[in-house]
Amino acid sequence: MTHWTPSARQELEHYFGRIRPGLEAGGADATEVIEDLRRHVEQEAAASPLAVVTEEDVRRLLARIGAPEPVAPGPEPTRPAAAITSTATEKVGPKASWWLLVLGVVLPTLTLIVELGTGMCAGAFFDPVPTPWHLFLVVLVPGMNLWTWWAIRQGRHGQRARLGWANGIVLGVCTFYALLFLPLLLPGVFALIFYGFGLLPWTPTLTLVATVGLRRRLRALTPTRPAGPLPGLAPGLAIGLLALALADAPVWLTRYGLHLAASEDSRRQARGLRWLRAAANDEVLLRACYGRTRAAANMDVVGWIFSGGEDVSADKARELYYRVTGRAFNSVPAPAVRTGRGRFADLDEWTWDADQGGERVGGRLKGLTLQGSRLDAVVDAPAATAYYEWTLEFKNDARGAREARAQVLLPPGGVVSRLTLWVNGEEREAAFAGRSRVREAYQRVAIRQRRDPVLVTTAGPDRVLVQCFPVPPDGGTMKVRLGMTAPLVLPRAEEGLLLWPCFLERNFTVPEQTAHSLWVEAQTALVVAGTALRAETPKPGLYAVRGLLDDRALADPTHAVRVPRERAPRVAWTQDTRSPVPRIIRQTIADTAAVERPTRVVVVVDGSRGMQPHLGLLADTLGQLPAGVELALVLATDVASREPMDDVSADPARQRAVIEGLRRLRLVGGQDNLPALVRAWDLAAEKDGSVILWIHGPQPVLLASGEALRQRYDRRPNGPRILELQTEAGPDRVIEQLDGVTRLNAVPRLGPLAEDLRRIVAGWEGGVREVTVLREPVPGDGLASGESGHETSLHLARLWAHGEITRLRAQRQVDAAVELAARYQLVTPVSGAVVLETQAQYEATGLEPVDPATVPAIPEPSTWLLLALGLAGILARFRRTR
């Protein structure tokens, strides 16, 4: 503490007495000015290293602060006195230039109005005000700058401290946005000639300069000079930056987690997954799945900070989206990657479809929708076959052409046997050939020439990939028809089930108002459950089921149509008109021996989050296993479990403990099921007669190679049987990877999951007989040889050919399999179907479209039935003329 001597106090008061007359003569408030000078002197003395202030020290301190010299009063005040009193009397402070008002207030206000009205930056690069909190902080900048400018202009030094804090916060906001727009400054110079766009990226920097200038003038806002320190710079700057950091926290937290999880270091991967599962923002994750333009990536300052300049690829983001959420990224609507408005809405069209022309569905495309869906079917109950025609009409409201892609789940055992495209209102049929040939033709015509083909290839067992391009822009439509031949599902010989095809994944939107219009007909009774579909009898001997189903309901097996077959013959046949030699295809339906009771059941449970609602049901089902059957449970998860489940045991107490542990599990994210399947195979292979029951949700991402499991079946073809049961419709990359493994059998979904699980366990209890269907070629003419049984259509021959192609493929007789597929006009793992626009395109690609007279249709009567109908018509006409 500084001590003042009495002589020092006396010297200071003497000085004040000498300057008072001059202050009063100048019209100033002498008392106010003197008190202000006293405060400054005392502050200077306290800040100096003086322990004792003497009379000489007072004179030195007065000189240091620039105190006015004493003058005698006169008719006009001297310049020093006027300078001191100008702030207090005229309220004219430091010069608040008009350019500070223009750059600090007018420019950011106009820029914000333009961005909110047009979305210019949001459409081309990123949204600078994505949330209301960002908008509030941006509006704060011109608001606080206007307040500061006006206070300086009016000389309101009493608000100096509060304005210092406000200015510091505004500096923090301006600094953040100036850094964010830094990469656009140079391009902005060259873009000034276009609507003033080039000035917009410069706004944060120019506003930052103006805000700094306002702070310098604010520091001088005081009735005396020099001014003291202006408060609020460092704390205010920190508050502004912290506020924006908190507003962007979901973004940078998710980006940081993505960078960790994409690392090649396993420990960093695990830490990144934990981080994302705990704190990730779904929208940020989803945006990463669709990638960004190079310009947007280059100006991503946050990304530079948290990823070291390396952006996570869209493919890796899609994988991580599944591992974090347990869902496929394209199972939900696409995010608004760009949000341009008005005339800048066209910037949305810069989004490039990286999967166009490829072999995967990819992300949802803006403006591409399913406008109409019609699904017709005809059932031949005695032959236990069905033929479907699914007519799809796509609409594209975007400004650019789009490719519609979808993976379709066929009815069990089904095969695509027809493909039609409408070109200029006319139906064009497909060419069937080897898989590589049709895909090369599609890519040449669709992707390079941008004409009108449609392509169908297989995508795993009972799965096909449908893709057509281009769906014309600006409201254009494209119409295709998919014909499918399939057997009825026979849970028992006396009853068949007609299951509907459905989408597993798609890159287009199915609007809520777009329902699938279903219609099925048969010559025997049809039964439906619920009220969504309605059974009717249009006329004697004809039965129908019709109704509307939304996209989710179409994939629900509870809407299957039941086909009674109590009196149906067990033998059906058809004349094989596609064979080069006379023959028939005979089908025999038989009840074989009861289902063999397994000695050991290894249950593989998908540990993905979507399986959580099914754990209780699964536990109840496993509690009903037949006594004496050994049980082991393998959980597919990357999270360590406290419940040891894969210990094989036939002890009921131990099995109950495993089942109760299953109930207590808490599942997270999306999990890799392949390692668990390999572990289950090893457990099941230890004992003959073992079965693997794999219960899982969709597997939209292949996280590991299936070669380890495929190798086991290559070396031991009669290894443990895998029963695969999927809880809900969706893509399954694991099944696609294991296509061709004969010991992997998909359990068809025939109803609610509880009933399907009980049906499996009931089969192990004994007394349930399996239904087998044998299709075989028989030489000769069916009618000439007096073939017994039910004569049916060529669909029976198509189903036989489908099975024969599978056999030839397993024996590596690919050329023979391709030739057979082309002869019967089928889409198989070795063949595909493509429709081109013109005959010249077919000739250029070496393909030949099928004769329209040879394609199946609804209905497809046999040749003899046509003759019978014709004869009946002639007889009826003859009777009328008598």
What pLDDT, on a 0 to 100 scale, did the predictor assign at position 13? 83
783 three-state secondary structure: coil
444 has pLDDT over 90 = no
Confidence of residue 863 (pLDDT cuts 50, 70, 90): very low
Confidence of residue 562 (pLDDT cuts 50, 70, 90): very high
710 has pLDDT over 90 = yes
Question: Parallel, antiparallel, or unpaired: how do β-strands 744-746 and 721-726 relate?
Answer: parallel
Confidence of residue 77 (pLDDT cuts 50, 70, 90): very low
Which of 454, 369, 354, 457 is closest to 408 using CA atoms? 457
> Measured between alpha carbons, how far is 602 from 679 in angstroms, rounded to an integer?
10
Q: Kind and range of the H or E element at 863? A: helix 863-881
Q: What is the pLDDT of residues 844-854, one digit of tens each?
A: 889 999 999 99
614 has pLDDT over 90 = yes
Average pLDDT, the chain: 84
- Which tokens hold the place of 876? 């009826």
What pLDDT, on a 0 to 100 scale, did the predictor assign at position 438? 94
Q: Among the listed ranges 248-252, 257-261, 343-347, 605-609, which one has the minimum average pLDDT value?
A: 343-347
629 has pLDDT over 70 = yes
731 has pLDDT over 90 = yes
301 has pLDDT over 70 = no
Q: What is the pLDDT of residues 316-333, one digit of tens each?
A: 999 999 999 999 999 998
Q: What is the pLDDT of residues 520-540, one digit of tens each?
A: 999 999 999 888 899 999 899
Confidence of residue 481 (pLDDT cuts 50, 70, 90): very high
Q: 349 CB contacts (<8 Å, ≥6 apart)?
A: 398, 399, 400
> Measured between alpha carbons, how far is 334 from 628 in angstroms, rounded to an integer?
51
Q: What is the pLDDT of residues 80-105, one digit of tens each?
A: 443 333 333 334 445 668 889 999 99
5 has pLDDT over 50 = yes
What pLDDT, on a 0 to 100 scale, did the predictor assign at position 675? 94
Provide mean pLDDT across the span 476-502. Answer: 95
Confidence of residue 337 (pLDDT cuts 50, 70, 90): low
Burial class (CB in 10 A: 0-12, 13-18, 19+), 694: buried
**Backbone phi and psi for residue 412, each to the nearest 5 degrees, phi listed first:** -55, 130
Averaging pLDDT over each range in 338-342, 481-485, 617-621, 780-784, which range is the top one?
A: 481-485
Confidence of residue 877 (pLDDT cuts 50, 70, 90): very low
- Which tokens hold the place of 504? 């597993």
b vs e for 563-589, b when ≥16 Cβ sit within 10 Å of the residue's Cβ? bebeebebbbbbbbeebeeebbbbbeb
> Measured between alpha carbons, how far is 179 from 199 in angstroms, rounded to an integer?
16
What pLDDT, on a 0 to 100 scale, did the predictor assign at position 346? 47
**Residue whose token pair is 């109930």:** 663
Confidence of residue 505 (pLDDT cuts 50, 70, 90): very high
**Backbone phi and psi for residue 93, each to the nearest 5 degrees, phi listed first:** -95, -155
341 has pLDDT over 90 = no
**Residue whose token pair is 């021959």:** 797
Q: What is the pLDDT of residues 364-420, one digit of tens each?
A: 998 899 999 999 999 999 999 999 999 999 999 988 889 999 999 999 999 999 999
Provide mean pLDDT across the span 151-155. Answer: 84
Provide mean pLDDT across the span 617-622. Answer: 93
What pLDDT, on a 0 to 100 scale, did the predictor assign at position 76? 42
Strand ranges, E, within 783-875: 790-791, 831-835
658 has pLDDT over 70 = yes
Residue % of the chain over a pLDDT of 90: 52
Confidence of residue 517 (pLDDT cuts 50, 70, 90): very high
Q: In this predicted model, which residue has the larger pLDDT, 665 or 122?
A: 665
What pLDDT, on a 0 to 100 scale, did the predictor assign at position 643? 53
Question: Parallel, antiparallel, or unpaired: how do β-strands 368-380 and 516-522 relate?
Answer: parallel
What pLDDT, on a 0 to 100 scale, did the predictor assign at position 701? 94
What pLDDT, on a 0 to 100 scale, did the predictor assign at position 22? 74
Q: What is the pLDDT of residues 784-833, one digit of tens each?
A: 666 788 999 999 999 999 999 999 998 999 999 999 999 999 999 999 99
Provide mean pLDDT across the span 244-270. Answer: 88
865 has pLDDT over 90 = no
